[in-house]
Structure 1
Amino acid sequence: VVLVERAGTVIGAIGLADRPRPEAREAMGRLGELGITRTVMLTGDTPQTAAAIAGDLGIAEVAADLLPGDKADAVRRLGDGVAMVGDGVNDTPALAASDLGIAMGTAGSPAAIEVADVALMGDDPRKIAELIGLARWTRTVVRQNIAFSLGTKAIAAVFLLFGALPLWAAVGVDVGASLLVVANGLRLVSGRPVGQRELPILERSAVAGPTVFV
Protein backbone atom coordinates (compact mmCIF):
# COMPACT_ATOMS: atom_id res chain seq x y z
CA VAL A 1 0.00 0.00 0.00
CA VAL A 2 1.33 3.44 -0.98
CA LEU A 3 0.04 6.39 1.02
CA VAL A 4 -0.47 9.72 -0.74
CA GLU A 5 0.28 12.76 1.37
CA ARG A 6 -0.25 16.48 0.85
CA ALA A 7 0.92 19.13 3.26
CA GLY A 8 1.55 16.52 5.93
CA THR A 9 -1.91 15.00 5.62
CA VAL A 10 -2.65 11.58 4.17
CA ILE A 11 -5.23 12.09 1.45
CA GLY A 12 -5.34 8.66 -0.09
CA ALA A 13 -3.89 5.20 -0.46
CA ILE A 14 -2.90 3.22 -3.54
CA GLY A 15 -2.89 -0.54 -3.38
CA LEU A 16 -0.30 -2.40 -5.47
CA ALA A 17 -0.25 -6.13 -6.03
CA ASP A 18 1.64 -8.65 -8.15
CA ARG A 19 -0.69 -10.52 -10.46
CA PRO A 20 0.15 -13.67 -12.42
CA ARG A 21 0.02 -13.46 -16.19
CA PRO A 22 -3.45 -14.24 -17.61
CA GLU A 23 -2.14 -17.33 -19.43
CA ALA A 24 -0.23 -18.67 -16.41
CA ARG A 25 -3.17 -20.64 -15.01
CA GLU A 26 -3.73 -22.30 -18.38
CA ALA A 27 -0.02 -23.13 -18.52
CA MET A 28 -0.27 -24.89 -15.17
CA GLY A 29 -3.29 -26.83 -16.38
CA ARG A 30 -1.42 -28.02 -19.45
CA LEU A 31 1.47 -29.22 -17.32
CA GLY A 32 -1.02 -31.21 -15.28
CA GLU A 33 -2.33 -32.81 -18.47
CA LEU A 34 1.22 -33.92 -19.22
CA GLY A 35 1.39 -35.73 -15.89
CA ILE A 36 3.49 -33.11 -14.10
CA THR A 37 1.53 -32.75 -10.89
CA ARG A 38 4.19 -31.30 -8.61
CA THR A 39 5.38 -27.74 -9.08
CA VAL A 40 7.33 -25.57 -6.67
CA MET A 41 7.55 -21.78 -6.63
CA LEU A 42 10.92 -20.32 -5.63
CA THR A 43 10.89 -16.55 -5.30
CA GLY A 44 12.58 -13.64 -3.65
CA ASP A 45 9.23 -12.01 -2.92
CA THR A 46 7.69 -11.86 0.53
CA PRO A 47 5.83 -14.93 1.80
CA GLN A 48 2.51 -13.08 1.62
CA THR A 49 2.97 -12.12 -2.04
CA ALA A 50 4.27 -15.55 -2.97
CA ALA A 51 1.38 -17.32 -1.24
CA ALA A 52 -1.19 -15.14 -3.01
CA ILE A 53 0.26 -15.80 -6.47
CA ALA A 54 0.73 -19.50 -5.79
CA GLY A 55 -2.87 -19.74 -4.63
CA ASP A 56 -4.09 -18.17 -7.87
CA LEU A 57 -2.08 -20.68 -9.90
CA GLY A 58 -2.78 -23.76 -7.81
CA ILE A 59 0.83 -24.23 -6.70
CA ALA A 60 0.97 -25.96 -3.33
CA GLU A 61 4.68 -25.67 -2.54
CA VAL A 62 6.19 -22.21 -2.11
CA ALA A 63 9.54 -20.96 -0.84
CA ALA A 64 9.84 -17.18 -0.48
CA ASP A 65 12.46 -14.61 0.56
CA LEU A 66 15.13 -16.56 -1.32
CA LEU A 67 18.46 -15.24 -2.50
CA PRO A 68 19.94 -16.60 -5.77
CA GLY A 69 22.05 -19.13 -3.88
CA ASP A 70 19.04 -20.22 -1.84
CA LYS A 71 17.14 -20.99 -5.04
CA ALA A 72 19.99 -23.17 -6.29
CA ASP A 73 20.12 -25.03 -2.97
CA ALA A 74 16.36 -25.59 -3.11
CA VAL A 75 16.63 -27.03 -6.61
CA ARG A 76 19.36 -29.45 -5.50
CA ARG A 77 17.27 -30.61 -2.55
CA LEU A 78 14.43 -31.56 -4.90
CA GLY A 79 16.56 -34.38 -6.30
CA ASP A 80 16.80 -35.66 -9.86
CA GLY A 81 14.65 -34.85 -12.86
CA VAL A 82 14.05 -31.20 -11.98
CA ALA A 83 13.20 -28.60 -14.63
CA MET A 84 13.78 -24.99 -13.64
CA VAL A 85 12.08 -22.07 -15.38
CA GLY A 86 13.46 -18.57 -14.89
CA ASP A 87 14.23 -15.33 -16.67
CA GLY A 88 16.39 -13.15 -14.44
CA VAL A 89 20.00 -12.88 -13.36
CA ASN A 90 18.92 -14.06 -9.90
CA ASP A 91 17.68 -17.30 -11.46
CA THR A 92 21.01 -18.16 -13.07
CA PRO A 93 22.42 -20.32 -10.22
CA ALA A 94 19.17 -22.31 -9.99
CA LEU A 95 19.04 -22.79 -13.77
CA ALA A 96 22.58 -24.15 -13.68
CA ALA A 97 21.77 -26.46 -10.75
CA SER A 98 18.71 -28.03 -12.40
CA ASP A 99 18.63 -31.02 -14.73
CA LEU A 100 16.81 -28.93 -17.34
CA GLY A 101 17.14 -25.15 -17.29
CA ILE A 102 14.49 -23.27 -19.28
CA ALA A 103 14.89 -19.53 -19.86
CA MET A 104 12.12 -17.30 -21.13
CA GLY A 105 13.78 -15.99 -24.28
CA THR A 106 12.09 -12.61 -24.77
CA ALA A 107 12.03 -11.48 -21.15
CA GLY A 108 15.07 -13.46 -20.05
CA SER A 109 18.36 -11.84 -19.15
CA PRO A 110 21.42 -12.70 -21.28
CA ALA A 111 22.97 -14.49 -18.29
CA ALA A 112 19.91 -16.71 -17.80
CA ILE A 113 19.74 -17.55 -21.50
CA GLU A 114 23.44 -18.40 -21.55
CA VAL A 115 23.19 -20.81 -18.61
CA ALA A 116 19.87 -22.45 -19.55
CA ASP A 117 19.64 -25.62 -21.62
CA VAL A 118 16.65 -24.26 -23.53
CA ALA A 119 15.64 -20.68 -24.34
CA LEU A 120 12.01 -20.22 -25.32
CA MET A 121 11.46 -17.74 -28.14
CA GLY A 122 8.81 -15.79 -26.29
CA ASP A 123 7.52 -15.10 -22.80
CA ASP A 124 4.32 -17.16 -22.96
CA PRO A 125 4.47 -19.74 -20.11
CA ARG A 126 2.23 -22.09 -22.10
CA LYS A 127 5.23 -22.80 -24.31
CA ILE A 128 6.76 -24.78 -21.43
CA ALA A 129 4.15 -27.50 -21.89
CA GLU A 130 4.65 -27.35 -25.66
CA LEU A 131 8.38 -27.85 -25.13
CA ILE A 132 7.88 -30.92 -22.94
CA GLY A 133 5.29 -32.39 -25.30
CA LEU A 134 7.55 -31.87 -28.30
CA ALA A 135 10.50 -33.42 -26.46
CA ARG A 136 8.48 -36.52 -25.61
CA TRP A 137 7.16 -36.83 -29.13
CA THR A 138 10.69 -36.46 -30.53
CA ARG A 139 11.94 -39.21 -28.25
CA THR A 140 9.12 -41.48 -29.38
CA VAL A 141 9.93 -40.89 -33.06
CA VAL A 142 13.63 -41.59 -32.42
CA ARG A 143 12.79 -44.86 -30.69
CA GLN A 144 10.49 -45.84 -33.55
CA ASN A 145 13.22 -45.14 -36.07
CA ILE A 146 15.84 -47.13 -34.16
CA ALA A 147 13.52 -50.11 -33.67
CA PHE A 148 12.39 -50.13 -37.31
CA SER A 149 15.91 -49.72 -38.70
CA LEU A 150 17.46 -52.44 -36.54
CA GLY A 151 14.52 -54.75 -37.11
CA THR A 152 14.63 -54.55 -40.89
CA LYS A 153 18.41 -55.00 -40.95
CA ALA A 154 18.19 -58.03 -38.66
CA ILE A 155 15.51 -59.67 -40.80
CA ALA A 156 17.46 -58.96 -43.99
CA ALA A 157 20.63 -60.40 -42.42
CA VAL A 158 18.84 -63.65 -41.53
CA PHE A 159 17.52 -64.06 -45.06
CA LEU A 160 20.99 -63.34 -46.46
CA LEU A 161 22.58 -65.99 -44.25
CA PHE A 162 20.21 -68.63 -45.60
CA GLY A 163 20.59 -67.42 -49.17
CA ALA A 164 16.93 -66.49 -49.44
CA LEU A 165 17.61 -62.84 -50.26
CA PRO A 166 19.79 -61.62 -53.15
CA LEU A 167 22.39 -59.00 -52.38
CA TRP A 168 20.69 -56.39 -54.55
CA ALA A 169 17.43 -56.95 -52.66
CA ALA A 170 19.23 -56.54 -49.32
CA VAL A 171 20.64 -53.22 -50.53
CA GLY A 172 17.16 -52.18 -51.59
CA VAL A 173 15.76 -53.08 -48.17
CA ASP A 174 18.49 -51.05 -46.47
CA VAL A 175 17.90 -47.99 -48.65
CA GLY A 176 14.14 -48.29 -48.29
CA ALA A 177 14.40 -48.53 -44.51
CA SER A 178 16.60 -45.43 -44.44
CA LEU A 179 14.09 -43.47 -46.51
CA LEU A 180 11.23 -44.52 -44.24
CA VAL A 181 13.22 -43.49 -41.17
CA VAL A 182 13.84 -40.06 -42.69
CA ALA A 183 10.17 -39.69 -43.64
CA ASN A 184 9.09 -40.61 -40.12
CA GLY A 185 11.47 -38.03 -38.68
CA LEU A 186 10.08 -35.33 -40.96
CA ARG A 187 6.76 -35.60 -39.13
CA LEU A 188 8.39 -33.55 -36.39
CA VAL A 189 8.90 -30.68 -38.82
CA SER A 190 5.86 -30.58 -41.05
CA GLY A 191 3.60 -33.51 -40.39
CA ARG A 192 1.81 -32.26 -37.29
CA PRO A 193 1.11 -28.92 -35.61
CA VAL A 194 3.37 -28.20 -32.66
CA GLY A 195 0.65 -27.01 -30.32
CA GLN A 196 0.10 -28.40 -26.87
CA ARG A 197 -3.41 -29.60 -27.62
CA GLU A 198 -2.13 -31.53 -30.63
CA LEU A 199 0.97 -33.03 -29.04
CA PRO A 200 0.70 -36.52 -27.58
CA ILE A 201 0.72 -36.97 -23.83
CA LEU A 202 3.28 -39.72 -23.43
CA GLU A 203 5.24 -41.13 -20.53
CA ARG A 204 6.25 -38.47 -18.04
CA SER A 205 9.89 -39.54 -17.67
CA ALA A 206 11.07 -36.72 -19.95
CA VAL A 207 10.64 -34.54 -16.88
CA ALA A 208 10.14 -37.06 -14.12
CA GLY A 209 10.65 -34.85 -11.10
CA PRO A 210 9.26 -31.55 -9.91
CA THR A 211 9.02 -28.55 -12.17
CA VAL A 212 10.23 -25.38 -10.49
CA PHE A 213 8.91 -21.94 -11.36
CA VAL A 214 10.36 -18.60 -10.37
Structure 2
Amino acid sequence: MLVVRRSTVEDTVGSQRDWEPVGFIGVADAIRPEAPETVRRLHAVGIERVAMLTGDNRAVAEQIAKEVGIDEVYSELLPEQKVDIVRDLVRQGPTAMVGDGVNDAPALATASVGVAMGAGGTDVALETADVVLMSSDLSKLPFTVELGRRAARIVRQNVVFSVGVIITLVLLTVVAPFFIDGFVMPLPLGVVGHEGSTLIVVANGLRLLAMRAEKVAV
Protein backbone atom coordinates (compact mmCIF):
# COMPACT_ATOMS: atom_id res chain seq x y z
CA MET A 1 0.00 0.00 0.00
CA LEU A 2 1.38 3.42 -1.01
CA VAL A 3 1.45 6.11 1.68
CA VAL A 4 1.26 9.72 0.42
CA ARG A 5 1.02 13.23 1.83
CA ARG A 6 -0.27 16.57 0.57
CA SER A 7 2.45 18.75 -0.90
CA THR A 8 0.17 21.81 -0.89
CA VAL A 9 -2.46 22.96 1.56
CA GLU A 10 -4.22 25.72 -0.39
CA ASP A 11 -7.42 23.76 -0.97
CA THR A 12 -9.15 20.74 0.52
CA VAL A 13 -9.64 18.83 -2.73
CA GLY A 14 -6.41 19.09 -4.67
CA SER A 15 -5.31 16.90 -7.55
CA GLN A 16 -3.02 13.92 -7.99
CA ARG A 17 -0.07 16.30 -8.42
CA ASP A 18 -0.67 17.70 -4.92
CA TRP A 19 0.31 14.38 -3.33
CA GLU A 20 3.77 12.94 -2.98
CA PRO A 21 4.72 9.39 -1.91
CA VAL A 22 6.41 9.00 1.46
CA GLY A 23 6.57 5.21 1.79
CA PHE A 24 4.95 1.82 1.44
CA ILE A 25 3.13 -0.43 3.86
CA GLY A 26 3.29 -4.12 3.05
CA VAL A 27 0.89 -6.77 4.31
CA ALA A 28 1.86 -10.43 4.29
CA ASP A 29 0.80 -13.70 5.89
CA ALA A 30 2.87 -14.46 8.98
CA ILE A 31 4.60 -17.83 9.03
CA ARG A 32 3.99 -19.76 12.21
CA PRO A 33 7.19 -19.92 14.27
CA GLU A 34 6.95 -23.70 14.64
CA ALA A 35 6.41 -24.37 10.91
CA PRO A 36 10.07 -24.84 9.78
CA GLU A 37 10.85 -27.14 12.70
CA THR A 38 7.65 -29.11 12.10
CA VAL A 39 8.58 -29.75 8.46
CA ARG A 40 12.07 -30.82 9.51
CA ARG A 41 10.66 -33.24 12.07
CA LEU A 42 8.19 -34.65 9.55
CA HIS A 43 11.11 -35.50 7.29
CA ALA A 44 12.94 -36.95 10.30
CA VAL A 45 10.09 -39.38 11.05
CA GLY A 46 10.11 -40.63 7.47
CA ILE A 47 7.70 -38.39 5.56
CA GLU A 48 9.25 -38.26 2.09
CA ARG A 49 7.46 -35.23 0.65
CA VAL A 50 5.73 -32.26 2.23
CA ALA A 51 3.56 -30.30 -0.21
CA MET A 52 1.60 -27.08 0.17
CA LEU A 53 -1.76 -26.65 -1.55
CA THR A 54 -2.99 -23.06 -1.42
CA GLY A 55 -5.18 -20.55 -3.16
CA ASP A 56 -2.53 -17.83 -2.75
CA ASN A 57 -0.56 -16.56 -5.73
CA ARG A 58 2.57 -18.38 -6.84
CA ALA A 59 5.10 -15.78 -5.68
CA VAL A 60 3.78 -15.73 -2.11
CA ALA A 61 3.43 -19.51 -1.95
CA GLU A 62 6.94 -20.16 -3.24
CA GLN A 63 8.46 -17.67 -0.81
CA ILE A 64 6.71 -19.30 2.15
CA ALA A 65 7.72 -22.76 0.96
CA LYS A 66 11.34 -21.66 0.69
CA GLU A 67 11.37 -20.24 4.22
CA VAL A 68 9.63 -23.25 5.76
CA GLY A 69 11.39 -25.99 3.79
CA ILE A 70 8.38 -27.39 1.93
CA ASP A 71 9.25 -29.72 -0.95
CA GLU A 72 6.42 -29.03 -3.40
CA VAL A 73 4.13 -26.05 -3.99
CA TYR A 74 0.72 -26.00 -5.69
CA SER A 75 -0.64 -22.44 -5.78
CA GLU A 76 -3.68 -20.50 -7.02
CA LEU A 77 -5.89 -23.54 -6.50
CA LEU A 78 -9.65 -23.84 -6.33
CA PRO A 79 -11.13 -26.43 -3.91
CA GLU A 80 -11.81 -28.90 -6.72
CA GLN A 81 -8.23 -28.54 -7.95
CA LYS A 82 -6.98 -29.44 -4.48
CA VAL A 83 -9.07 -32.59 -4.67
CA ASP A 84 -7.55 -33.54 -8.03
CA ILE A 85 -4.01 -33.06 -6.73
CA VAL A 86 -4.65 -35.01 -3.54
CA ARG A 87 -6.23 -37.81 -5.56
CA ASP A 88 -3.13 -37.96 -7.76
CA LEU A 89 -0.86 -38.04 -4.69
CA VAL A 90 -2.92 -40.85 -3.16
CA ARG A 91 -2.35 -42.92 -6.31
CA GLN A 92 1.39 -42.55 -5.69
CA GLY A 93 1.17 -43.66 -2.07
CA PRO A 94 -0.49 -43.06 1.31
CA THR A 95 -1.15 -39.34 1.66
CA ALA A 96 -2.22 -37.22 4.63
CA MET A 97 -3.96 -33.89 4.15
CA VAL A 98 -3.88 -31.21 6.86
CA GLY A 99 -6.38 -28.35 6.74
CA ASP A 100 -8.85 -26.29 8.73
CA GLY A 101 -11.14 -24.47 6.30
CA VAL A 102 -14.31 -25.15 4.37
CA ASN A 103 -12.28 -25.21 1.15
CA ASP A 104 -10.11 -27.99 2.59
CA ALA A 105 -12.98 -30.36 3.41
CA PRO A 106 -13.23 -32.10 -0.01
CA ALA A 107 -9.46 -32.68 -0.09
CA LEU A 108 -9.52 -33.96 3.51
CA ALA A 109 -12.12 -36.52 2.48
CA THR A 110 -10.07 -37.57 -0.56
CA ALA A 111 -6.76 -38.10 1.26
CA SER A 112 -5.73 -41.41 2.80
CA VAL A 113 -5.88 -39.65 6.16
CA GLY A 114 -7.48 -36.26 6.71
CA VAL A 115 -6.17 -34.19 9.63
CA ALA A 116 -8.10 -31.13 10.84
CA MET A 117 -6.61 -28.47 13.09
CA GLY A 118 -9.23 -28.31 15.83
CA ALA A 119 -8.74 -24.92 17.48
CA GLY A 120 -9.41 -22.80 14.40
CA GLY A 121 -11.00 -25.38 12.16
CA THR A 122 -14.45 -25.08 10.63
CA ASP A 123 -17.19 -27.54 11.50
CA VAL A 124 -17.14 -28.97 7.98
CA ALA A 125 -13.41 -29.70 8.16
CA LEU A 126 -13.70 -31.23 11.63
CA GLU A 127 -16.54 -33.52 10.56
CA THR A 128 -14.78 -34.61 7.37
CA ALA A 129 -11.34 -35.36 8.83
CA ASP A 130 -10.22 -38.73 10.14
CA VAL A 131 -8.04 -37.13 12.82
CA VAL A 132 -8.72 -33.91 14.71
CA LEU A 133 -5.95 -32.10 16.58
CA MET A 134 -7.51 -30.13 19.43
CA SER A 135 -5.01 -27.29 19.04
CA SER A 136 -3.52 -25.34 16.14
CA ASP A 137 0.03 -26.25 17.15
CA LEU A 138 1.69 -27.63 14.02
CA SER A 139 4.43 -29.25 16.11
CA LYS A 140 1.89 -31.93 17.10
CA LEU A 141 1.90 -33.35 13.56
CA PRO A 142 5.15 -35.39 13.83
CA PHE A 143 3.94 -36.76 17.17
CA THR A 144 0.64 -37.73 15.55
CA VAL A 145 2.48 -39.62 12.81
CA GLU A 146 4.60 -41.54 15.30
CA LEU A 147 1.63 -42.21 17.57
CA GLY A 148 -0.32 -43.67 14.67
CA ARG A 149 2.58 -45.87 13.61
CA ARG A 150 3.19 -47.14 17.13
CA ALA A 151 -0.52 -47.80 17.63
CA ALA A 152 -0.59 -49.85 14.41
CA ARG A 153 2.45 -51.86 15.56
CA ILE A 154 0.87 -52.58 18.93
CA VAL A 155 -2.40 -53.64 17.30
CA ARG A 156 -0.51 -56.10 15.08
CA GLN A 157 1.42 -57.43 18.08
CA ASN A 158 -1.78 -57.92 20.06
CA VAL A 159 -3.54 -59.68 17.20
CA VAL A 160 -0.63 -62.07 16.60
CA PHE A 161 -0.28 -62.80 20.31
CA SER A 162 -4.02 -63.34 20.87
CA VAL A 163 -4.38 -65.63 17.86
CA GLY A 164 -1.29 -67.54 18.97
CA VAL A 165 -2.71 -68.13 22.44
CA ILE A 166 -6.08 -69.26 21.06
CA ILE A 167 -4.44 -71.66 18.60
CA THR A 168 -2.29 -73.07 21.41
CA LEU A 169 -5.32 -73.63 23.65
CA VAL A 170 -7.25 -75.28 20.80
CA LEU A 171 -4.33 -77.59 20.03
CA LEU A 172 -4.00 -78.57 23.69
CA THR A 173 -7.72 -79.22 23.95
CA VAL A 174 -8.43 -80.99 20.65
CA VAL A 175 -5.17 -82.30 19.21
CA ALA A 176 -3.06 -83.18 22.24
CA PRO A 177 -5.33 -86.08 23.39
CA PHE A 178 -4.62 -87.88 20.09
CA PHE A 179 -0.90 -87.94 20.87
CA ILE A 180 -0.95 -88.16 24.67
CA ASP A 181 -3.10 -90.93 26.08
CA GLY A 182 -5.46 -89.75 28.75
CA PHE A 183 -4.49 -86.11 28.39
CA VAL A 184 -7.22 -83.63 29.26
CA MET A 185 -6.33 -79.98 29.49
CA PRO A 186 -7.25 -78.70 32.95
CA LEU A 187 -10.02 -76.10 32.91
CA PRO A 188 -8.06 -73.69 35.16
CA LEU A 189 -5.21 -73.75 32.65
CA GLY A 190 -7.56 -72.77 29.84
CA VAL A 191 -9.10 -69.96 31.89
CA VAL A 192 -5.72 -68.61 32.98
CA GLY A 193 -4.38 -68.84 29.45
CA HIS A 194 -7.32 -67.01 27.90
CA GLU A 195 -7.82 -64.32 30.54
CA GLY A 196 -4.09 -63.92 31.08
CA SER A 197 -3.57 -63.22 27.39
CA THR A 198 -6.29 -60.56 27.59
CA LEU A 199 -4.48 -58.81 30.43
CA ILE A 200 -1.20 -58.93 28.50
CA VAL A 201 -2.88 -57.41 25.43
CA VAL A 202 -4.36 -54.59 27.52
CA ALA A 203 -1.02 -53.92 29.22
CA ASN A 204 0.72 -53.81 25.85
CA GLY A 205 -1.80 -51.26 24.59
CA LEU A 206 -1.27 -49.07 27.64
CA ARG A 207 2.31 -48.48 26.52
CA LEU A 208 0.93 -45.80 24.18
CA LEU A 209 0.17 -43.65 27.22
CA ALA A 210 3.90 -43.33 27.83
CA MET A 211 4.46 -41.48 24.55
CA ARG A 212 5.27 -37.80 24.80
CA ALA A 213 5.27 -35.33 21.92
CA GLU A 214 8.58 -33.78 22.92
CA LYS A 215 10.36 -37.14 22.56
CA VAL A 216 9.47 -37.62 18.90
CA ALA A 217 12.05 -36.79 16.23
CA VAL A 218 14.02 -34.24 18.22
Interval containing the TM-score (normalised by the shorter chain): 0.7 to 0.9
Please give the alpha-carbon distance, in whole angstroms, between the structure 1 residues aligned to 2:98 and 2:75: 16
Aligned structure 1 segments of 4 or more residues deviating by more than 6 angstroms: none
Q: Which runs of 5+ in 2 are unaligned?
A: 7-18, 177-182
* 1:198–1:71 CA distance, 2 compared to 1 (3 A): closer
Aligned length: 196
Deviations 1:144-171 (A, max 9, x none): 1111111122223222332263222122
Structure 1 residue 196, shift from structure 2 partner = 5.2
Q: Which moved more, 1:71-80 or 1:119-128?
A: 71-80
Q: Are 2:207 and 1:187 aligned?
A: yes
Q: Are 2:113 and 1:114 aligned?
A: no
2:213 counterpart SS class:
coil
Structure 1 residue 194, shift from structure 2 partner = 2.9
Q: Are 2:30 and 1:12 aligned?
A: no
Which of residues 77, 86, 89 is equivalent to 2:88?
Answer: 77
Please give the alpha-carbon distance, in whole angstroms, between the structure 2 residues aligned to 1:66 and 1:122: 26
What's 1:173 paired with?
193
Deviations 1:57-85 (A, max 9, x none): 21121111111111111111213421111
- Output the amino acid matched with 2:72: E
User: In terms of Rg, which structure is larger?
Assistant: 2
Please give the alpha-carbon distance, in whole angstroms, between the structure 1 residues aligned to 2:184 and 2:161: 21
- Output the amino acid matched with 2:157: Q
Please give the alpha-carbon distance, in whole angstroms, between the structure 2 residues aligned to 1:135 and 1:70: 28
- Output the amino acid matched with 1:180: I
Deviations 1:93-152 (A, max 9, x none): 211221211111001112211211111110011111111111111111111111111112
What's 1:208 paired with?
none
Which of residues 50, 66, 69 is equivalent to 1:55?
Answer: 66
Please give the alpha-carbon distance, in whole angstroms, between the structure 1 residues aligned to 2:80 and 2:214: 33
Q: Which has the higher contact order (CA 8 A, sep 6+)?
A: 1
- Output the amino acid matched with 1:197: K
Which of residues 112, 121, 128 is equivalent to 1:99?
Answer: 112
* 1:18–1:76 CA distance, 2 compared to 1 (3 A): same
* 1:98–1:198 CA distance, 2 compared to 1 (3 A): closer
- Output the amino acid matched with 1:171: V
Please give the alpha-carbon distance, in whole angstroms, between the structure 2 residues aligned to 1:36 and 1:198: 13
How big is the alpha-carbon RMSD for the aligned residues of Structure 1 and Structure 2? Answer: 1.7
Q: Percent identity?
A: 44
Q: Are 2:42 and 1:43 aligned?
A: no
- Output the amino acid matched with 1:3: L
Q: Any conservation in 1 of the 2:40–2:69 contact (CA below 8 Å)? A: no
Q: Any conservation in 2 of the 1:83–1:99 contact (CA below 8 Å)? A: yes
Q: Output the TM-score relative to the length of structure 2.
A: 0.83
Q: Output the TM-score relative to the length of structure 1.
A: 0.85
Deviations 1:172-213 (A, max 9, x none): 111111111111112223xx13315248xxxxxxxxxxxxxx
Q: Any conservation in 2 of the 1:129–1:196 contact (CA below 8 Å)? A: no
- Output the amino acid matched with 1:174: H
Structure 1 residue 17, shift from structure 2 partner = 2.7
